[in-house]
Structure 1
Amino acid sequence: MSEAPYLTFDLDTPGVSRGHLVIPGGTDRGELSLPVFSLNKGEGPRLLVTGGNHGNELEGPIVARRLIKWLPEAQTCGRVIVLPVLNPLAVEAWSRNTPLDGLNLNRIFPGRADGSVTERIADAVSRVLLPMADTVFDLHSFGPTWDFPPAATTHPIADPDLMARTVRMAEAFKLPLTLVWQHNDTAGMFDITAQNQGKVFVCTEFGGGTVGADNLAIYEAGVRNAFIALGLIEGKAEYPTFRQQKSGQTLETRPSDELKSPAPGIFEPRCSVLDEVKQGDLVGILHPMDSLSAESIDIRAPETSIVLAVASGAHVEADKVVALVARPLKK
């Protein structure tokens, strides 16, 4: 059994290579082999594309596999590495976290070589693949209980030059939304690890986690636009059509933009994503289910803003987020 993660092929080999990233076994389970695709066309950008970070977000792995089909004919320079499924154990279980150890892969980077299986996956990606890239696209969706527009996202970055380059890269996807997302739950995220190394990292959030032909077409078009912007392929970038519109906007959101449920119950949305709301406008209604005499509770916008995400009719506990709002990014 190997003591260190490794690739079964040489990334410097010209042309197409296919093989595996081998994750060493541990006390919790044996060795894992994650399929990896590489296309090396010499000098140029070095891009890593990953999907399946969370196992219940399935658009990313599908779009990643689609890239593999058309890249050999389209790519003109540089090197692209595609790892369609970062966490196969979670994908197989359709679970956000790894069932074996209960960990969220996107909260334990850079991982541990002597840790549990999720930590070993993060360690392998951090040590073997991340050093080989200058830019990273991590393909997510927002999860199965949310309505969220196709978006390219990042977090605030202390380095102003890296921040500017990252926002430009995110905007190059030309998705309906580019989002700078400030929230407190960032420890151990893949993008923080990459950004600390000076790499441009864009996390795409592909809607609400329901795989459909129209949404997949939007997501693939956005990724293709980003490849064009990097100079990896030729072509003309265009905004994909989302809800009869071809446009994009760049927003920012803060922890205070989370609208939370004041009590347990069923949340009923009363607005749609990307709606503009004014202070006091109705965003949704919380219906308590533990008492027939309890009044339903209106949840209203705290200020003029744009609806970023709404929980899709889910039962929620008290103090859980039911909607997010945002506002235009101040550059």
Structure 2
Amino acid sequence: MSEAPHLTFDLDTPGLSTGHLVVPKGSDCEALSLPVFSLNKGEGPRLLITGGNHGNELEGPIVARRLVEWLPEAQTCGRVIIVPEINPLAVQAWTRNTPIDGKNLNRVFPGRADGSATERIADAVSRLLLPMADTVFDLHSAGPTMDFPPAVITHPIADADLMAKTLRMAEAFKLPMTLVWQYHDTLGMFDTWAHSQGKVFICAEFGGGTVGAEALAIYEAGVRNALITLGLVEGEAEYPTFRQQKSSRTLETLSSDLLRSPTRGIFEPRRSVLDEVKQGDLIGVLHPMESLSADSIRVRAPTTSIVCMIRSGGHVDADEEIVYLARPLNL
């Protein structure tokens, strides 16, 4: 390792600054330079916004770059740091994981200074950017294979006060769904690490297979609502329109709410996100590929619930995730 991770400019400089977060080279690749935007307007909230954690979720980098365009005129106080692509190697390859080492950036935090490329990125972000913020918006989407409504996600947090603050911030986006997700694979997540540091961490999600103008507009409106609530910009927050409705609900999904494919085949969705289903209702059909004589398998709702994420069609392997269900959160 030739050098430590570093920024090419001082984040404490008043006003607008741009530069790079330099991730040192290792045995697997040369040094990486991640573009960083900083707008420091003195006292007030300290916010870090990141995109491109997963390289095949491009809504985040696009919305982050949109913010860079209008924030200089809109921000009234505090400090906002934006890194549109924290994993440029994955973004350039349009892959969820880093192609060089095959690692998922969102499973290696806080990273390792002497680790692989993905671990060195996490180390640089953990050491140099996360300490500068009280709140983090990590902009994701469900990627090219899942349909997911505009939503903000958090996981259960042991610290009740931090959980309450996080839920309030999540609901400030006014997106159609706020989801508390009891997820089975949280070790090494960016949000898990940020929570351990006492930070409010917001994971925004939006999926549907393609990057469209309507989805981006809703996503950006949600982020702007949150900036208004934080007091970083002025204005009146509004519920964005999704499928001709302006509303928001807070839900929870448990590990038991995940439905997996019983075999290999083509999954045909029969329900849309935010549809309410009763026990026994048809959610989708799995068409086996090996034989035309094999019966298609009907996937039905095990309980009365709400479809919060569903496979957007395509080939699936046995035991692959196809549907997540949810229900209203009882606070």
Give the alignment of 1:199-238 within 5 angstroms: 199-238=199-238
| 1:276 is aligned to 2:276 | yes
Which residue in the other structure is 2:58 paired with? 58
User: TM-score, normalised on structure 2?
Assistant: 0.99
**Post-superposition offset of 1:292:** 1.8
SS in 1 for 2:322: strand
Residues 45 and 78 of structure 1 are in contact (CA less than 8 Å); yes or no, is this contact kept in structure 2?
yes
The C-alpha deviation readout for 1:60-89, integer Å capped at 9, x for no partner, is 001000101111111011000000000010
Question: 2-side partners of 1:209 and 1:107: how far apart?
Answer: 23
Give the alignment of 1:235-254 within 5 angstroms: 235-254=235-254
One-letter amino acid of the structure 1 residue matched with residue 27 of structure 2 = T
Question: 1-side partners of 2:136 and 2:209: how far apart?
Answer: 21
Which residue in the other structure is 1:83 paired with? 83
Instruction: Report how many residues are paired.
Output: 331
SS in 2 for 1:233: coil
Which residue in the other structure is 2:173 paired with? 173
Which residue in the other structure is 1:3 paired with? 3
**Post-superposition offset of 1:207:** 2.0
**Post-superposition offset of 1:12:** 0.6
Which residue in the other structure is 1:36 paired with? 36
Moved more, 143-152 or 206-215: 206-215
Residues 58 and 209 of structure 1 are in contact (CA less than 8 Å); yes or no, is this contact kept in structure 2?
no
RMSD value, Cα: 0.8
Which residue in the other structure is 2:160 paired with? 160
Structure 1 unaligned residues grouped into runs of 5+: none
Which residue in the other structure is 1:107 paired with? 107
Question: 2-side partners of 1:220 and 1:66: how far apart?
Answer: 8
One-letter amino acid of the structure 2 residue matched with residue 252 of structure 1 = E
Question: 2-side partners of 1:314 and 1:185: how far apart?
Answer: 24
Residues 209 and 312 of structure 2 are in contact (CA less than 8 Å); yes or no, is this contact kept in structure 1?
no
**Post-superposition offset of 1:2:** 4.3
The C-alpha deviation readout for 1:42-62, integer Å capped at 9, x for no partner, is 000000000000000001001
User: TM-score, normalised on structure 1?
Assistant: 0.99
Question: 2-side partners of 1:38 and 1:202: how far apart?
Answer: 19
One-letter amino acid of the structure 2 residue matched with residue 139 of structure 1 = L
**Post-superposition offset of 1:327:** 0.4
Structure 1 pair 50–234 and aligned structure 2 pair: CA distance change class (3 A): same
